[in-house]
Structure 1
Amino acid sequence: MADPLFPSASATADAARRAAVATAGLQALFAQRIAVLDGAMGSMIQTFGLDEAAYRGTRFADHSHDLRGDNDLLCLTRPDLIEQIHRDYFAAGADLVETNTFNATRISQADYRLESIVTDLNTAAVAVARRAALAAEAATPGRRCFVAGAIGPLNRTLSLSPDVNRPDFRAVTWDDVVAAYTEQIRALLTAGVDALLVETIFDTLNAKAALFAIESVFDAAGFRVPVMISVTITDASGRTLSGQTIDAFFHSIAHARPFSVGVNCALGGAAMRPYVEELARLAPCYVTCYPNAGLPNAFGGYDETPDQMAAILGEFAASGLVNLVGGCCGSTPDHIRAIAATVRAHAPRQVPPQSPALRLSGLEALTLA
Structure 2
Amino acid sequence: MSAPAPSAIESRLRALAARRILVLDGAMGTMIQRWKLDEAGYRGARFADWHRDLRGNNDLLSLSRPDIVSDIHLQYLRAGADIVETNTFSSTTIAQADYGMESLAYELNFESARLAAEACRTVEAEDPARPRFVAGAIGPTNRTASMSPDVNNPGFRAVSFDDLRAAYGEAARGLIEGGSHILLVETVFDTLNAKAALFAIEEAFEATGVRLPVMVSGTITDLSGRTLSGQTAEAFWYSVRHARPFSIGLNCALGAKEMRAHIADLARVADTLVCAYPNAGLPNEFGEYDESPEAMAALVGEFARSGLVNIVGGCCGTTPDHIAAVAAAVEGVAPRVVPEIEPRLRLSGLEPFIAAA
Distance between the aligned counterparts of 1:252 and 1:23, measured in 2?
22
Identify the residue that residue 154 of structure 2 maps to in structure 1. 167
Q: How does 1:253-292 map to 2 (within 5 A)?
A: 253-292=240-279
Identify the residue that residue 82 of structure 2 maps to in structure 1. 95
Residue deviations 1:144-186, cap 9 Å, x none?
0100000000000001100000000111111111100011001
* Offset at residue 235 of structure 1 (A): 1.1
In the alignment, does 2:175 pair up with 1:188?
yes
Q: How many residues align?
A: 342
* Offset at residue 20 of structure 1 (A): 3.8
In the alignment, does 2:23 pair up with 1:36?
yes
In the alignment, does 2:124 pair up with 1:137?
yes
| TM-score, scaled relative to structure 1 | 0.91
In structure 2, runs of 5+ residues without a counterpart are 1-5, 352-357
Identify the residue that residue 196 of structure 2 maps to in structure 1. 209
Identify the residue that residue 110 of structure 1 maps to in structure 2. 97
Identify the residue that residue 66 of structure 1 maps to in structure 2. 53
* Offset at residue 221 of structure 1 (A): 2.5
In the alignment, does 2:42 pair up with 1:52?
no
* Offset at residue 131 of structure 1 (A): 1.3
Distance between the aligned counterparts of 1:41 and 1:277, measured in 2?
26
> Quick one: which amino acid aligns to residue 67 of structure 1?
L
Question: Quick one: which of 296, 306, 309 aligns to 1:322?
Answer: 309
Q: How does 1:222-237 map to 2 (within 5 A)?
A: 222-237=209-224
Identify the residue that residue 334 of structure 2 maps to in structure 1. 347
Question: Quick one: which of 82, 86, 90 aligns to 2:69?
Answer: 82
* Offset at residue 358 of structure 1 (A): 6.6
Q: Is the 8 A contact 1:251 1:359 kept in 2?
A: no
Identify the residue that residue 331 of structure 1 maps to in structure 2. 318
Instruction: Detail structure 1 runs of 4+ shifted over 3 Å in the superposition.
Output: 355-360
Identify the residue that residue 286 of structure 2 maps to in structure 1. 299
Question: Quick one: which of 243, 248, 258 aligns to 2:235?
Answer: 248
3-state SS of paired residue (1:347): coil
| TM-score, scaled relative to structure 2 | 0.94
Q: Is the 8 A contact 1:158 1:205 kept in 2?
A: yes
Q: Is the 8 A contact 1:75 1:121 kept in 2?
A: yes
3-state SS of paired residue (1:266): strand
> Quick one: which amino acid aligns to residue 299 of structure 1?
F
> Quick one: which amino acid aligns to residue 321 of structure 2?
D
Q: Is the 8 A contact 2:20 2:335 kept in 1?
A: yes
Distance between the aligned counterparts of 1:163 and 1:359, measured in 2?
39
> Quick one: which amino acid aligns to residue 287 of structure 2?
G
**Structure 1 pair 130–223 and aligned structure 2 pair: CA distance change class (3 A):** closer
Distance between the aligned counterparts of 2:274 and 2:247, measured in 1?
5
* Offset at residue 25 of structure 1 (A): 2.2
* Offset at residue 359 of structure 1 (A): 6.7
> Quick one: which amino acid aligns to residue 57 of structure 1?
G
**RMSD of equivalent CA atoms:** 1.3
In the alignment, does 2:191 pair up with 1:200?
no
3-state SS of paired residue (1:250): helix
Identify the residue that residue 8 of structure 1 maps to in structure 2. none
3-state SS of paired residue (1:320): coil
3-state SS of paired residue (1:197): strand
Question: Quick one: which of 172, 194, 206 aligns to 1:219?
Answer: 206
Distance between the aligned counterparts of 2:39 and 2:303, measured in 1?
41
3-state SS of paired residue (1:200): strand
Distance between the aligned counterparts of 2:350 and 2:69, measured in 1?
42
Residue deviations 1:36-55, cap 9 Å, x none?
00000011101110011111
* Offset at residue 216 of structure 1 (A): 1.0
3-state SS of paired residue (1:97): strand
Q: Is the 8 A contact 2:38 2:55 kept in 1?
A: yes
Identify the residue that residue 239 of structure 1 maps to in structure 2. 226
> Quick one: which amino acid aligns to residue 343 of structure 1?
V
Distance between the aligned counterparts of 2:208 and 2:63, measured in 1?
26
Distance between the aligned counterparts of 1:137 and 1:247, measured in 2?
37
Identify the residue that residue 3 of structure 2 maps to in structure 1. none
Identify the residue that residue 5 of structure 1 maps to in structure 2. none
> Quick one: which amino acid aligns to residue 267 of structure 2?
A
3-state SS of paired residue (2:144): coil
* Offset at residue 141 of structure 1 (A): 2.0
Distance between the aligned counterparts of 1:359 and 1:295, measured in 2?
39
In structure 1, runs of 5+ residues without a counterpart are 1-18, 361-369
